[in-house]
A and B are shown apart, each in its own frame.
Chain A
Amino acid sequence: MEVRELVKRYPKAQTDAVDRLTFAVASGEIFGLLGPNGAGKSTTIGILTTRVRPTAGQALIANVDVMVAPRTVRSLLGVVPQRNNLDRSLSVRQNLLFHAAYHGVPKAVRTRRAEALLEQFALTDRANEKPELFSGGQNQRMMIARALMHEPRVLFLDEPSTGLDPAARLFVWDRIRELRAAGVTIVLTTHDMDEAAALADRVGIVDSGRLLALDTPAALVRGLTTGASLQIVVELADELALAELLGRLGTLAGVQRCEQVGTEAAGHTIRLYLTGEAAAMVAPVGAAVAEVGARLIGVQICEASLEDVFIDLTGRRLR
């Protein structure tokens, strides 16, 4: 799957929803597309799934241009939307069977495949019920099973575990990993940084329609200018000691900067932003605290996460 210099400007819009976006996803890879609301994720997925017409650029699924051969592309991809779009007039089994029939899967094949997927997604018991009263988790399982009925080469999942309970979420994650093992390319859009870090081989972070970063989750975290941090709570004799302590901590090797982030009855909370690993800094920091005659009463190691990368790139502004 590949997009080249992709541009989308909606009629009457002042700016491009997608602005010269270029990236490629390897076959059998889980790719996480991250970005704040309105960043252009949905538009990009819309173009790739033939539902949005690009203004310029090219989008390819398995080397087929989505603009040139949309029907071929639709037969190659499966889509699991964020919003429930199941056919409420049909039973669970019929939802799967009709989906396959729309894709021209022969009757014997689709019947066999539906039974296997119902079993795999723990839906066999309720296969003859209509999905009206199903929980979010059941709907989600059903939509994934439905998308797999025509054996797509590329699967698009939009916020696959939003609103799911922990068990359902782990179940969905396991199925996604199984699909990768079976060679299916997976494009995941999500706000959930833990999900992206847990599942994605690589993530692309977009904002204002542009790609800001693209790498493995681990490499993105490593690349942060603000690495790990250490948060300590100290009991001090007086304010003078605090200034002295902050001065000493700030000059320690491996500390980028430090600041007081809070004062409670128990003591003062200080955060140290580090250039290296946090665990190695606990001893020197403890020694520095002792030197000014203060008492260390709490230490917390804060490793940087994908969320820090995300906030670092896209900011804290609400949209």
Chain B
Amino acid sequence: MLRAFGSVLRRDIVVTGKDLVAFLAQVLLQPVFFLFVFGKLLTSLGYTSSNYSSLLFPGLVALTATVTAIQAMAFPLVAEFSWTKEIEDRLLAPLPLWAVAAEKVVFATLRALVASAVMFPIGIGVLGSVPYRADGLGLLIGVVLLGSLVGACIGMTIGTFVPPTKINIAFALIFTPLLFTGATQYPWPSLAQHLRWFQVLSAANPITYVSEGMRAALVPTIPHIPGWVCLLALAGSLALFGTLGMIGFRRRAID
């Protein structure tokens, strides 16, 4: 079974490998512009203070990891189940159903990890330097890994529950709120005095815990949610969306 699982994973890697540049452009264009306009441009013009970029950068890595994983999962899944039917050949392989789903999660996570790793050299290129702390490395890896896994499972949930004809509208309605309530561009604890309702809303977005966990790892001087709380919240999200995604996958794969 491990060999078959490996073959399915190898197929995805071979296909992405042929299109590596397109893949990176697709996932990195948005965070690069964010970084440039909000981290560099506004700071240079004096509209934001220079520490804003060290607050923003961890948040953008978090956003890249999660959103890349969601997209790497949801769009191909919708297409493969509805239009191209490409997934059928794998569903008819002597693999358990969960293994076919798990491979998709592993692959989406790999893509997300590559994209977030590439954010560091890009951050250095755009900002001159990025916050880094060797002490925070373990937490950083844990948070990015869990964030990517959660993203993949959210993608699987969306990709299997939303009817294919509604996927475009669903993405428009899901993505924008996800993008701006994930504590990517602001530190979550600071909302307590100013915008309590928005703080509550942000707490419901799993990306918040990736962003805050990244700040705990890279820039602990900025107020943040403790690392262990982030890891726990992400593990909970993983259990929730992992279960939902698997239910959805089973529903689409077997009548």
- Complex: chain B residue closest to A102, CB-CB: B93
Interface residues of A (CB under 8 A from B): 10, 43, 46, 49-53, 71-72, 74-75, 77, 79, 81, 83-90, 94, 98-99, 101-104, 146
Asked if B15 and A89 sit within 8 Å, CB to CB, the answer is yes
Asked if A102 and B255 sit within 8 Å, CB to CB, the answer is no
Report chain A residues within 8 Å CB of B90. Answer: 102
Q: A51-B255, A104-B3 are in contact. Are A88 and B86 (CB under 8 A)?
A: yes
How many Å lie between the Cα of A75 and that of B94 in the bound state?
5
Which residues 68-114 of B sit at the A interface, judged by CB distance below 8 A?
84-86, 88-96
Interface residues of B (CB under 8 A from A): 3-4, 7-8, 10-11, 14-15, 18, 84-86, 88-96, 253-255
Asked if A46 and B255 sit within 8 Å, CB to CB, the answer is yes
Report chain B residues within 8 Å CB of A103. Answer: 4, 93-94
From B8, B84, B92, residue with most partner A Cβ within 10 Å: B92
Asked if A51 and B253 sit within 8 Å, CB to CB, the answer is yes
How many Å lie between the Cα of A50 and that of B90 in the bound state?
13
> Which residue of B14, B93, B95, B255 contacts A53 across the interface (Cβ within 8 Å)?
B255
How many Å lie between the Cα of A44 and that of B159 in the bound state?
27
Asked if A104 and B4 sit within 8 Å, CB to CB, the answer is yes
Report chain B residues within 8 Å CB of A85. Answer: 84-86, 88-89
21 A-B pairs with C-beta separation under 8 A = A51-B91, A51-B254, A52-B255, A72-B94, A74-B94, A79-B88, A81-B85, A81-B88, A85-B86, A87-B89, A88-B84, A89-B86, A90-B14, A90-B15, A98-B7, A99-B93, A101-B10, A102-B4, A102-B93, A103-B4, A103-B93
Interface SS of chain B: helix, strand, loop or mixed? Answer: helix
Report chain A residues within 8 Å CB of B93. Answer: 74, 99, 102-103
Asked if A90 and B94 sit within 8 Å, CB to CB, the answer is no
How many Å lie between the Cα of A87 and that of B10 in the bound state?
14
Report chain B residues within 8 Å CB of A74. Answer: 92-94
Report chain A residues within 8 Å CB of B3. Answer: 101, 104
Report chain B residues within 8 Å CB of A90. Answer: 11, 14-15
Closest CB-CB distance, B166 to chain A, in whole Å? 20
Give me 6 other A-B pairs in contact (C-beta within 8 A), A10-B255, A86-B86 excluded.
Answer: A46-B255, A51-B92, A74-B93, A85-B86, A87-B11, A102-B89
How many Å lie between the Cα of A234 and that of B180 in the bound state?
85
How many Å lie between the Cα of A98 and that of B154 in the bound state?
28
How many Å lie between the Cα of A142 and that of B39 in the bound state?
52
How many Å lie between the Cα of A74 and that of B89 in the bound state?
11
How many Å lie between the Cα of A83 and that of B95 in the bound state?
22
Report chain B residues within 8 Å CB of A104. Answer: 3-4, 94
Closest CB-CB distance, A250 to chain B, in whole Å? 53
Closest CB-CB distance, B85 to chain A, in whole Å? 4
- Complex: chain B residue closest to A87, CB-CB: B86
- Complex: chain B residue closest to A85, CB-CB: B85
From B8, B11, B94, B95, residue with most partner A Cβ within 10 Å: B94
